[in-house]
């Protein structure tokens, strides 16, 4: 028996269900919103204003795909795994923070770059990339989203006299010791940061912040009198900049600090413009290792407070797990 219902289709989805030998068609009307791919670029440009900043890669539609976009996969970097996920989701577009065609990279399309672009074009997937404009957006941006999670109230740009400063600074609502803030960062990002003690013993209140690979802006943070500075990566020179200028440094992971901007942008597209978006986090490095280290920390603490024998067993099991090859370790 077929139950059919006429649906004034703008867009509808049909679900078929087999019940005791009968096929029943359940018609569910879902208003599926689709948008022209260039209109979507115009919408994103109007929100993120890429013309405000000089960037290292083109912002906007980087690889053209099919004309209409309904489903979007968002992620930090347009790597092959993210493209594979987008194909799985039958997405019409990928929206990322790290797209392609970076300044200074080889211009030819070959090897890894060819494989990625070939997959996008063969599957009709549009690729949108927004780099610095997504770092600095006052609410959806990487800096703003991370600051909110870490309890830092942004006061302004760290670059003096620059209305579109890339790094920002703010205050912790409750000043913290170095180890308290370290724990806070580890918990929020699910991975322990690499911390360089700047030597000062007062509680951390003012924090400079710039997600990703902005470790060299530590000198600016020191010049502006920050108690601490947080970014994603660390270089050899960063350690000495922190120690010699008395500013605590937190290298919290390039990927880990830049997950939240593109996620928020996808949610904004879904909430305000009715598009279907899926945020896909491709670990870099694997979060599991950080979680294991956190567990290890807790068990060691418990061992100090009693339960010594069982804690020793747990610790040795965890150490074995941490050192297995599947758990990779990296900084950025």
Minimum distance from CB of 323 to Zn ion (Å)? 29
Q: Of the listed pieces 114-122, 204-212, 266-274, 283-291, which binds Zn ion according to CB under 5 A?
A: 204-212
CB nearer to Zn ion: give 131 or 289.
Answer: 131
**Which residue has its beta carbon closest to Zn ion?**
212
For position 212 contacting Zn ion by CB under 5 A, the verdict is yes
Q: Of the listed pieces 1-9, 209-217, 236-244, 273-281, which binds Zn ion according to CB under 5 A?
A: 209-217
Q: What is the DSSP letter of 130?
A: -
CB nearer to Zn ion: give 45 or 57.
Answer: 57
| Secondary element (H or E) of residue 87 | helix 80-88
Q: Is 254 helix (H, G, I), strand (E, B) or coil?
A: helix
CB nearer to Zn ion: give 65 or 129.
Answer: 129
Tell me the number of residues near Zn ion by CB under 5 A: 1
How far is Cα 199 from Cα 242, in angstroms, rounded to an integer?
9
How far is Cα 191 from Cα 214, in angstroms, rounded to an integer?
19
Minimum distance from CB of 74 to Zn ion (Å)? 15
End-to-end CA distance of the chain: 59
How many H-runs (helices) and E-runs (strands) does the chain carry?
Answer: 12, 15
Q: Dmax of the chain from CA atoms? A: 80
Applying the rule CB under 5 A, the residues between 235 and 294 that interact with Zn ion are none
For position 208 contacting Zn ion by CB under 5 A, the verdict is no
Q: Is 212 helix (H, G, I), strand (E, B) or coil?
A: coil
- 133 φ, ψ to 5°? -60, -30
Query: What is the pairing mode between strands 228-231 and 204-209?
Result: parallel
Q: Of the listed pieces 61-69, 113-121, 210-218, 310-318, which binds Zn ion according to CB under 5 A?
A: 210-218
Minimum distance from CB of 330 to Zn ion (Å)? 14
Minimum distance from CB of 258 to Zn ion (Å)? 5
Minimum distance from CB of 25 to Zn ion (Å)? 48
- Return the sign of the alpha-carbon dihedral for residues 181, 185, 188, 191: negative
Minimum distance from CB of 260 to Zn ion (Å)? 12
For position 75 contacting Zn ion by CB under 5 A, the verdict is no
| Pairs from 16-19 (Cβ < 8 Å, separation ≥ 24) | none
Q: Of the listed pieces 166-174, 208-216, 234-242, 244-252, which binds Zn ion according to CB under 5 A?
A: 208-216
List contacts with Zn ion (CB under 5 A): 212
């Amino acid at each position: 028996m077929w139950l059919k219902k006429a649906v004034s289709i703008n867009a509808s989805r049909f679900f078929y269900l087999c019940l005791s030998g009968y096929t029943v068609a359940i018609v569910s009307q879902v208003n599926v919103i689709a948008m022209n791919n260039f209109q979507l670029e115009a919408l994103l440009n109007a929100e993120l204003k890429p013309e405000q900043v000089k960037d290292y890669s083109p912002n906007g539609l980087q690889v053209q795909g099919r004309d209409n976009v309904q489903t979007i996969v968002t992620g930090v970097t347009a790597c092959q795994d993210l493209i594979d996920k987008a194909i799985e989701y039958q997405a019409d577009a990928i929206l990322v923070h790290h797209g392609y065609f970076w300044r200074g990279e080889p211009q030819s399309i070959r090897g890894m770059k060819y494989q990625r672009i070939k997959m996008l074009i063969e599957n009709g997937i549009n690729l949108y990339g927004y780099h610095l404009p997504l770092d600095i957006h006052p609410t959806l941006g990487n800096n703003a989203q991370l600051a909110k999670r870490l309890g830092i109230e942004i006061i302004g740009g760290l670059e003096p006299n620059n209305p579109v400063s890339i790094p920002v600074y703010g205050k912790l609502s409750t000043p913290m010791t170095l180890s308290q803030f370290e724990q806070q960062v580890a918990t929020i990002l699910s991975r322990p940061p690499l911390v360089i003690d700047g030597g000062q013993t007062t509680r951390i209140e003012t924090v400079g912040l710039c997600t990703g690979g902005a470790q060299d802006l530590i000198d600016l943070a020191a010049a502006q009198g920050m108690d601490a500075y947080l970014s994603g990566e660390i270089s050899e020179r960063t350690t000495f900049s922190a120690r010699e200028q008395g500013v605590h440094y937190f290298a919290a992971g390039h990927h880990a600090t830049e997950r939240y901007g593109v996620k928020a942008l996808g949610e904004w597209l879904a909430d305000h413009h009715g598009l279907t978006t899926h945020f896909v986090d491709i670990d870099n490095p694997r979060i599991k290792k950080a979680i294991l280290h956190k567990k290890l920390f807790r068990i060691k603490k418990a061992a100090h407070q009693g339960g010594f024998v069982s804690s020793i067993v747990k610790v040795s099991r965890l150490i074995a797990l941490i050192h297995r090859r599947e758990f990779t370790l990296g900084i950025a």
